[in-house]
Protein backbone atom coordinates (compact mmCIF):
# COMPACT_ATOMS: atom_id res chain seq x y z
CA UNK A 1 0.00 0.00 0.00
CA UNK A 2 1.34 3.44 -0.93
CA UNK A 3 0.70 7.12 -0.31
CA UNK A 4 -0.01 8.66 -3.71
CA UNK A 5 -0.22 12.33 -2.74
CA UNK A 6 -2.10 14.88 -0.75
CA UNK A 7 -4.13 18.07 -1.05
CA UNK A 8 -4.20 21.02 1.33
CA UNK A 9 -7.22 23.31 1.70
CA UNK A 10 -7.16 26.59 3.63
CA UNK A 11 -10.43 28.24 4.62
CA UNK A 12 -13.69 27.68 6.39
CA UNK A 13 -16.66 29.44 7.91
CA UNK A 14 -15.17 32.26 10.00
CA UNK A 15 -11.82 30.45 10.43
CA UNK A 16 -8.92 29.51 8.18
CA UNK A 17 -8.93 25.77 8.79
CA UNK A 18 -5.95 24.01 7.19
CA UNK A 19 -7.25 20.65 6.05
CA UNK A 20 -5.06 17.88 4.68
CA UNK A 21 -6.42 15.05 2.56
CA UNK A 22 -3.85 12.25 2.17
CA UNK A 23 -4.53 9.77 -0.64
CA UNK A 24 -3.43 6.16 -1.14
CA UNK A 25 -3.30 3.75 -4.07
CA UNK A 26 -6.11 1.70 -2.48
CA UNK A 27 -8.64 4.51 -2.54
CA UNK A 28 -8.65 4.91 1.26
CA UNK A 29 -7.78 8.45 2.30
CA UNK A 30 -7.05 10.17 5.61
CA UNK A 31 -7.86 13.66 6.91
CA UNK A 32 -5.72 15.87 9.13
CA UNK A 33 -5.86 19.39 10.60
CA UNK A 34 -2.80 21.68 10.43
CA UNK A 35 -4.51 24.90 11.55
CA UNK A 36 -2.13 27.27 13.32
CA UNK A 37 -4.27 30.22 14.32
CA UNK A 38 -3.45 33.40 12.40
CA UNK A 39 -0.41 31.80 10.76
CA UNK A 40 -2.35 29.25 8.72
CA UNK A 41 -0.59 29.59 5.38
CA UNK A 42 2.74 28.52 6.89
CA UNK A 43 1.98 24.89 7.84
CA UNK A 44 -0.04 24.66 4.61
CA UNK A 45 3.03 25.67 2.59
CA UNK A 46 5.30 23.39 4.60
CA UNK A 47 3.01 20.50 3.76
CA UNK A 48 2.69 21.16 0.06
CA UNK A 49 6.25 22.26 -0.70
CA UNK A 50 8.24 19.83 1.44
CA UNK A 51 6.35 17.05 3.15
CA UNK A 52 3.74 15.71 0.75
CA UNK A 53 6.18 15.18 -2.15
CA UNK A 54 8.51 13.29 0.23
CA UNK A 55 5.76 10.95 1.43
CA UNK A 56 4.76 9.68 -2.00
CA UNK A 57 5.38 5.95 -2.27
CA UNK A 58 5.61 5.35 1.50
CA UNK A 59 3.39 2.76 3.18
CA UNK A 60 0.76 4.79 5.13
CA UNK A 61 0.37 1.98 7.67
CA UNK A 62 3.83 2.75 9.10
CA UNK A 63 2.67 5.83 10.98
CA UNK A 64 5.40 5.59 13.65
CA UNK A 65 8.21 5.40 11.10
CA UNK A 66 6.68 8.23 9.09
CA UNK A 67 6.48 10.39 12.21
CA UNK A 68 10.17 9.70 12.96
CA UNK A 69 11.00 10.42 9.31
CA UNK A 70 9.29 13.81 9.54
CA UNK A 71 10.70 14.78 12.95
CA UNK A 72 14.26 13.53 12.61
CA UNK A 73 14.33 14.34 8.92
CA UNK A 74 13.53 18.01 9.45
CA UNK A 75 16.91 18.50 11.16
CA UNK A 76 15.52 21.79 12.58
CA UNK A 77 13.41 20.21 15.29
CA UNK A 78 10.15 21.33 16.92
CA UNK A 79 8.42 24.66 16.42
CA UNK A 80 4.66 25.13 15.93
CA UNK A 81 4.71 25.42 12.12
CA UNK A 82 6.53 22.15 11.49
CA UNK A 83 4.71 20.32 14.28
CA UNK A 84 1.29 21.45 12.97
CA UNK A 85 2.23 20.09 9.55
CA UNK A 86 3.46 16.78 11.06
CA UNK A 87 0.33 16.68 13.21
CA UNK A 88 -1.93 16.81 10.16
CA UNK A 89 -0.05 13.96 8.48
CA UNK A 90 -0.09 11.86 11.63
CA UNK A 91 -3.86 12.38 12.11
CA UNK A 92 -4.45 11.42 8.49
CA UNK A 93 -2.40 8.23 8.94
CA UNK A 94 -4.41 7.24 12.03
CA UNK A 95 -7.58 7.99 10.06
CA UNK A 96 -6.37 5.64 7.31
CA UNK A 97 -5.34 2.99 9.85
CA UNK A 98 -8.79 3.09 11.46
CA UNK A 99 -10.54 2.86 8.10
CA UNK A 100 -8.37 -0.14 7.13
CA UNK A 101 -9.10 -1.85 10.46
CA UNK A 102 -12.78 -0.83 10.23
CA UNK A 103 -12.48 0.56 13.77
CA UNK A 104 -12.75 3.99 15.35
CA UNK A 105 -9.30 5.34 16.28
CA UNK A 106 -9.96 5.07 20.03
CA UNK A 107 -10.14 1.27 19.64
CA UNK A 108 -6.63 1.28 18.17
CA UNK A 109 -5.38 3.31 21.15
CA UNK A 110 -6.67 0.80 23.69
CA UNK A 111 -10.44 1.16 23.69
CA UNK A 112 -12.89 3.02 25.82
CA UNK A 113 -12.09 4.13 29.38
CA UNK A 114 -15.27 6.22 29.77
CA UNK A 115 -18.63 6.88 28.18
CA UNK A 116 -18.06 10.50 27.26
CA UNK A 117 -15.55 13.27 27.85
CA UNK A 118 -16.45 16.21 30.09
CA UNK A 119 -16.11 19.47 28.19
CA UNK A 120 -15.90 23.07 29.33
CA UNK A 121 -17.51 26.04 27.63
CA UNK A 122 -16.30 29.65 27.57
CA UNK A 123 -18.43 32.17 29.46
CA UNK A 124 -17.51 35.82 29.25
CA UNK A 125 -18.98 39.16 30.24
CA UNK A 126 -18.18 42.84 30.08
CA UNK A 127 -18.94 42.71 33.81
CA UNK A 128 -19.62 40.09 36.47
CA UNK A 129 -23.40 40.30 36.03
CA UNK A 130 -23.18 39.55 32.32
CA UNK A 131 -20.71 36.73 33.01
CA UNK A 132 -23.10 35.18 35.55
CA UNK A 133 -25.92 35.21 32.97
CA UNK A 134 -23.69 33.35 30.51
CA UNK A 135 -22.60 30.81 33.11
CA UNK A 136 -26.26 30.21 34.01
CA UNK A 137 -26.99 29.66 30.28
CA UNK A 138 -24.29 26.96 30.03
CA UNK A 139 -25.45 25.30 33.26
CA UNK A 140 -28.97 25.18 31.79
CA UNK A 141 -27.52 23.41 28.72
CA UNK A 142 -26.03 20.75 30.98
CA UNK A 143 -22.38 21.86 31.13
CA UNK A 144 -20.60 20.72 34.28
CA UNK A 145 -17.60 22.97 33.71
CA UNK A 146 -17.31 26.57 32.51
CA UNK A 147 -14.34 28.85 31.91
CA UNK A 148 -15.07 32.30 33.35
CA UNK A 149 -13.57 35.60 32.12
CA UNK A 150 -14.95 39.05 32.86
CA UNK A 151 -14.23 42.73 32.42
CA UNK A 152 -12.26 44.46 35.17
CA UNK A 153 -13.59 47.79 36.48
CA UNK A 154 -11.33 50.63 35.41
CA UNK A 155 -9.30 48.50 32.96
CA UNK A 156 -8.42 50.84 30.07
CA UNK A 157 -9.67 48.34 27.45
CA UNK A 158 -11.24 44.91 27.43
CA UNK A 159 -9.04 42.29 29.07
CA UNK A 160 -8.40 38.89 27.49
CA UNK A 161 -11.50 37.25 25.96
CA UNK A 162 -14.05 39.75 27.24
CA UNK A 163 -16.26 42.14 25.27
CA UNK A 164 -15.69 45.92 25.48
CA UNK A 165 -19.31 46.63 26.29
CA UNK A 166 -22.29 44.77 27.68
CA UNK A 167 -24.42 43.03 25.09
CA UNK A 168 -21.56 42.87 22.55
CA UNK A 169 -21.68 39.20 21.63
CA UNK A 170 -18.97 39.15 19.00
CA UNK A 171 -16.47 36.40 19.74
CA UNK A 172 -13.07 37.66 20.82
CA UNK A 173 -11.28 35.21 18.54
CA UNK A 174 -13.48 34.91 15.51
CA UNK A 175 -14.75 38.45 15.01
CA UNK A 176 -11.71 40.65 15.43
CA UNK A 177 -9.29 39.38 12.83
CA UNK A 178 -7.32 41.73 10.60
CA UNK A 179 -3.72 41.86 9.52
CA UNK A 180 -3.04 44.85 11.72
CA UNK A 181 -3.56 43.63 15.26
CA UNK A 182 -6.11 45.18 17.56
CA UNK A 183 -4.30 46.77 20.54
CA UNK A 184 -5.53 46.03 24.04
CA UNK A 185 -4.37 47.82 27.19
CA UNK A 186 -3.67 45.83 30.32
CA UNK A 187 -3.19 46.62 33.99
CA UNK A 188 -2.17 43.70 36.22
CA UNK A 189 -2.82 45.72 39.41
CA UNK A 190 -6.51 46.24 38.60
CA UNK A 191 -6.86 42.59 37.59
CA UNK A 192 -5.23 41.30 40.78
CA UNK A 193 -7.34 43.53 43.00
CA UNK A 194 -10.64 42.58 41.35
CA UNK A 195 -10.53 39.00 40.12
CA UNK A 196 -10.20 36.98 43.38
CA UNK A 197 -13.43 38.50 44.75
CA UNK A 198 -15.17 38.03 41.40
CA UNK A 199 -14.24 34.32 41.36
CA UNK A 200 -15.36 33.93 44.98
CA UNK A 201 -18.68 35.56 44.06
CA UNK A 202 -19.14 33.13 41.15
CA UNK A 203 -18.48 30.21 43.48
CA UNK A 204 -21.03 31.57 45.98
CA UNK A 205 -23.65 32.03 43.24
CA UNK A 206 -23.24 28.68 41.51
CA UNK A 207 -22.53 26.46 44.52
CA UNK A 208 -19.79 23.90 45.12
CA UNK A 209 -20.49 21.44 42.27
CA UNK A 210 -19.91 23.48 39.11
CA UNK A 211 -16.32 23.31 37.83
CA UNK A 212 -14.98 26.83 37.30
CA UNK A 213 -11.87 27.44 35.17
CA UNK A 214 -10.02 30.69 34.55
CA UNK A 215 -7.39 31.67 31.95
CA UNK A 216 -4.78 34.32 32.83
CA UNK A 217 -3.37 34.10 29.30
CA UNK A 218 0.29 34.46 30.28
CA UNK A 219 -0.10 37.94 31.79
CA UNK A 220 1.33 37.78 35.31
CA UNK A 221 4.86 37.74 36.66
CA UNK A 222 5.82 34.66 38.74
CA UNK A 223 5.46 36.55 42.03
CA UNK A 224 2.08 38.02 41.02
CA UNK A 225 0.90 34.62 39.80
CA UNK A 226 1.89 32.91 43.06
CA UNK A 227 -0.06 35.50 45.06
CA UNK A 228 -3.04 35.24 42.71
CA UNK A 229 -3.13 31.43 42.81
CA UNK A 230 -3.22 31.68 46.62
CA UNK A 231 -5.84 34.46 46.65
CA UNK A 232 -8.23 32.41 44.47
CA UNK A 233 -8.03 29.26 46.61
CA UNK A 234 -11.44 29.95 48.23
CA UNK A 235 -13.05 29.82 44.74
CA UNK A 236 -11.90 26.18 44.43
CA UNK A 237 -11.07 26.44 40.72
CA UNK A 238 -10.90 23.34 38.54
CA UNK A 239 -7.85 25.03 37.08
CA UNK A 240 -5.96 28.28 36.69
CA UNK A 241 -4.56 28.42 33.17
CA UNK A 242 -1.35 29.97 31.84
CA UNK A 243 -0.69 32.14 34.90
CA UNK A 244 2.74 33.18 33.53
CA UNK A 245 4.42 33.02 30.10
CA UNK A 246 5.36 29.40 29.50
CA UNK A 247 9.05 29.83 28.60
CA UNK A 248 10.13 30.38 32.21
CA UNK A 249 9.27 27.01 33.68
CA UNK A 250 10.77 27.76 37.10
CA UNK A 251 7.97 30.30 37.53
CA UNK A 252 5.66 27.34 38.03
CA UNK A 253 7.77 26.24 40.99
CA UNK A 254 7.18 29.55 42.77
CA UNK A 255 3.41 29.20 42.23
CA UNK A 256 3.50 25.60 43.51
CA UNK A 257 5.31 26.62 46.67
CA UNK A 258 2.61 29.13 47.57
CA UNK A 259 -0.72 27.74 46.45
CA UNK A 260 -2.76 24.59 45.97
CA UNK A 261 -4.83 25.95 43.06
CA UNK A 262 -4.52 23.45 40.17
CA UNK A 263 -2.42 24.75 37.28
CA UNK A 264 -3.03 24.09 33.57
CA UNK A 265 -0.49 24.94 30.92
CA UNK A 266 0.69 23.91 27.47
CA UNK A 267 -1.52 25.29 24.69
CA UNK A 268 1.55 26.86 23.10
CA UNK A 269 3.80 23.82 23.61
CA UNK A 270 4.66 21.73 20.60
CA UNK A 271 6.57 18.76 21.92
CA UNK A 272 7.14 16.43 24.85
CA UNK A 273 10.39 18.29 25.40
CA UNK A 274 8.43 21.46 26.22
CA UNK A 275 6.64 19.83 29.12
CA UNK A 276 8.57 16.79 30.37
CA UNK A 277 10.19 18.72 33.22
CA UNK A 278 6.92 20.35 34.28
CA UNK A 279 5.31 16.92 34.32
CA UNK A 280 8.15 15.03 35.99
CA UNK A 281 8.60 17.69 38.67
CA UNK A 282 4.81 17.70 39.18
CA UNK A 283 4.60 21.47 38.76
CA UNK A 284 1.33 21.32 36.82
CA UNK A 285 -1.96 19.48 37.16
CA UNK A 286 -3.25 19.58 33.57
CA UNK A 287 -1.41 19.44 30.26
CA UNK A 288 -3.02 21.58 27.54
CA UNK A 289 -1.24 20.51 24.35
CA UNK A 290 -3.19 20.29 21.09
CA UNK A 291 -2.98 17.31 18.79
CA UNK A 292 -2.31 19.71 15.86
CA UNK A 293 0.73 21.75 16.84
CA UNK A 294 2.09 19.15 19.25
CA UNK A 295 2.62 16.90 16.24
CA UNK A 296 -0.34 14.52 16.09
CA UNK A 297 -1.74 11.53 17.94
CA UNK A 298 1.59 9.63 17.98
CA UNK A 299 3.58 12.10 20.13
CA UNK A 300 0.60 13.38 22.14
CA UNK A 301 -0.11 9.83 23.28
CA UNK A 302 3.43 9.73 24.70
CA UNK A 303 2.81 13.02 26.54
CA UNK A 304 -0.41 11.59 27.97
CA UNK A 305 1.40 8.48 29.20
CA UNK A 306 4.21 10.47 30.86
CA UNK A 307 1.60 12.77 32.45
CA UNK A 308 -0.26 9.75 33.80
CA UNK A 309 2.81 8.70 35.80
CA UNK A 310 2.81 12.06 37.59
CA UNK A 311 -0.85 12.73 38.47
CA UNK A 312 -1.13 15.15 35.55
CA UNK A 313 -4.39 14.93 33.64
CA UNK A 314 -5.25 16.01 30.12
CA UNK A 315 -7.05 19.23 29.20
CA UNK A 316 -6.41 19.51 25.47
CA UNK A 317 -6.63 22.88 23.78
CA UNK A 318 -9.92 23.29 21.91
CA UNK A 319 -10.11 26.94 20.86
CA UNK A 320 -12.34 27.73 17.84
CA UNK A 321 -9.25 27.64 15.62
CA UNK A 322 -9.18 23.82 15.83
CA UNK A 323 -11.10 22.18 13.03
CA UNK A 324 -13.54 19.32 13.66
CA UNK A 325 -10.76 16.96 12.47
CA UNK A 326 -8.34 17.66 15.33
CA UNK A 327 -11.28 17.93 17.75
CA UNK A 328 -12.20 14.41 16.59
CA UNK A 329 -8.61 13.18 17.07
CA UNK A 330 -8.76 14.61 20.61
CA UNK A 331 -12.17 13.01 21.18
CA UNK A 332 -10.58 9.61 20.45
CA UNK A 333 -7.65 10.32 22.80
CA UNK A 334 -10.07 11.58 25.48
CA UNK A 335 -12.25 8.50 25.49
CA UNK A 336 -9.15 6.31 25.83
CA UNK A 337 -6.74 8.29 28.08
CA UNK A 338 -6.73 6.77 31.58
CA UNK A 339 -5.69 10.19 32.92
CA UNK A 340 -8.27 12.23 30.99
CA UNK A 341 -9.20 15.48 32.75
CA UNK A 342 -11.41 17.71 30.63
CA UNK A 343 -11.72 18.97 27.03
CA UNK A 344 -12.04 22.61 26.00
CA UNK A 345 -14.94 22.83 23.62
CA UNK A 346 -16.15 25.80 21.63
CA UNK A 347 -19.28 25.29 19.67
CA UNK A 348 -17.94 24.26 16.29
CA UNK A 349 -21.27 22.82 15.27
CA UNK A 350 -22.66 25.70 13.26
CA UNK A 351 -24.63 24.57 10.19
CA UNK A 352 -21.83 25.85 7.91
CA UNK A 353 -19.12 23.99 9.85
CA UNK A 354 -21.21 20.80 9.94
CA UNK A 355 -21.75 21.06 6.16
CA UNK A 356 -17.97 21.28 5.59
CA UNK A 357 -17.08 18.55 8.12
CA UNK A 358 -20.03 16.17 8.55
CA UNK A 359 -19.64 13.69 11.45
CA UNK A 360 -21.44 11.74 14.17
CA UNK A 361 -19.35 13.15 17.02
CA UNK A 362 -21.85 14.81 19.32
CA UNK A 363 -22.11 17.02 22.38
CA UNK A 364 -24.78 16.22 24.93
CA UNK A 365 -25.19 17.56 28.48
CA UNK A 366 -21.67 18.96 28.55
CA UNK A 367 -20.13 15.67 27.43
CA UNK A 368 -18.49 14.87 24.09
CA UNK A 369 -19.51 11.51 22.64
CA UNK A 370 -17.12 10.05 20.12
CA UNK A 371 -18.25 8.72 16.75
CA UNK A 372 -18.18 4.95 16.21
CA UNK A 373 -17.35 5.38 12.50
CA UNK A 374 -14.02 3.87 11.32
CA UNK A 375 -10.99 6.15 11.56
CA UNK A 376 -11.41 9.66 12.96
CA UNK A 377 -15.06 9.67 11.94
CA UNK A 378 -15.08 13.05 10.16
CA UNK A 379 -15.80 13.72 6.48
CA UNK A 380 -14.69 16.72 4.45
CA UNK A 381 -16.92 18.10 1.69
CA UNK A 382 -14.56 19.41 -0.99
CA UNK A 383 -17.38 21.04 -2.98
CA UNK A 384 -18.40 22.95 0.12
CA UNK A 385 -14.74 23.94 0.68
CA UNK A 386 -14.73 25.80 -2.65
CA UNK A 387 -16.89 28.46 -0.99
CA UNK A 388 -14.03 29.52 1.28
CA UNK A 389 -10.68 31.25 0.96
CA UNK A 390 -7.90 32.26 3.29
CA UNK A 391 -8.71 35.51 5.13
CA UNK A 392 -5.62 37.10 6.75
CA UNK A 393 -5.85 37.61 10.49
CA UNK A 394 -3.80 38.42 13.55
CA UNK A 395 -4.02 37.99 17.32
CA UNK A 396 -4.52 41.21 19.29
CA UNK A 397 -1.43 42.71 20.90
CA UNK A 398 -1.29 43.98 24.46
CA UNK A 399 0.38 47.09 25.84
CA UNK A 400 0.53 48.53 29.35
CA UNK A 401 -0.94 52.01 29.87
CA UNK A 402 2.42 53.68 29.25
CA UNK A 403 2.80 51.84 25.93
CA UNK A 404 5.09 49.01 27.05
CA UNK A 405 4.48 45.79 25.07
CA UNK A 406 2.98 42.99 27.17
CA UNK A 407 1.87 39.40 26.55
CA UNK A 408 -1.35 38.68 24.69
Q: Which residues are catalytic?
A: 160, 217
- CB within 8 A of 378, min separation 6: which ones? 31, 324, 325, 328, 357, 358, 359, 361, 371
Using CB under 6 A, count the residues that bind ligand GCO: 8
Residue nearest to Mg ion (CB): 215
| Per CB under 5 A, 344 contacts Mg ion | no
Contact pattern from residue 330 through residue 359 relative to ligand GCO, giving x for each residue in contact according to CB under 6 A and a dash for the rest = --------------x---------------
Q: Beta strands of 85-182 (E only): which ranges?
A: 117-125, 145-150
Residues 202-241 that bind ligand GCO (CB under 6 A): 215, 217
Residue closer to Mg ion (CB basis): 63 or 314: 314
Minimal distance, residue 12 CB to ligand GCO, in Å: 15
Residue closer to ligand GCO (CB basis): 95 or 215: 215
Helix H or strand E segment including 109 = helix 105-109
344 binds, among ligand GCO, Mg ion, none (CB under 5 to 8 A by kind): ligand GCO
Minimal distance, residue 128 CB to ligand GCO, in Å: 20
52 binds, among ligand GCO, Mg ion, none (CB under 5 to 8 A by kind): none
Which string of DSSP letters, residue by residue, matches 47-104? IIIIIHHHHTTS-TT-HHHHHHHHHHHTSS---HHHHHHHHHHHHHHHHHHHHHHTSB
| Per CB under 6 A, 184 contacts ligand GCO | no
Of 70, 59, 69, 43, the C-alpha closest to 93 is 59
| Per CB under 6 A, 321 contacts ligand GCO | yes
Residue closer to ligand GCO (CB basis): 24 or 314: 314
CA dist 261 and 236 (Å) reads 7
Among 215, 224, 274, 285, binds Mg ion (CB under 5 A): 215
- CB within 8 A of 314, min separation 6: which ones? 286, 287, 304, 307, 333, 334, 337, 339, 340, 341, 342, 343
> Which residues contribute to the site for Mg ion (CB under 5 A)?
215
Amino acid sequence: MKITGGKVFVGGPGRNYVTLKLMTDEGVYGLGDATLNNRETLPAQYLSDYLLPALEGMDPRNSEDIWQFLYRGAYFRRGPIAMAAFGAIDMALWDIKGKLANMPVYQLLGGRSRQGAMAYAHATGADLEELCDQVAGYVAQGYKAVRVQCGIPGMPSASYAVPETKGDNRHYMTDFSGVRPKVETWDSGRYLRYMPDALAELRARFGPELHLLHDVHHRLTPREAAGFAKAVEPADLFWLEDPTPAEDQDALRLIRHHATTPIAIGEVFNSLWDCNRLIEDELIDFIRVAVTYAGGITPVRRIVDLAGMHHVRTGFHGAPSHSPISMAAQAHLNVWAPNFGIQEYLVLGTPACDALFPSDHRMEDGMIHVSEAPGLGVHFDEREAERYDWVPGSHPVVRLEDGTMWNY
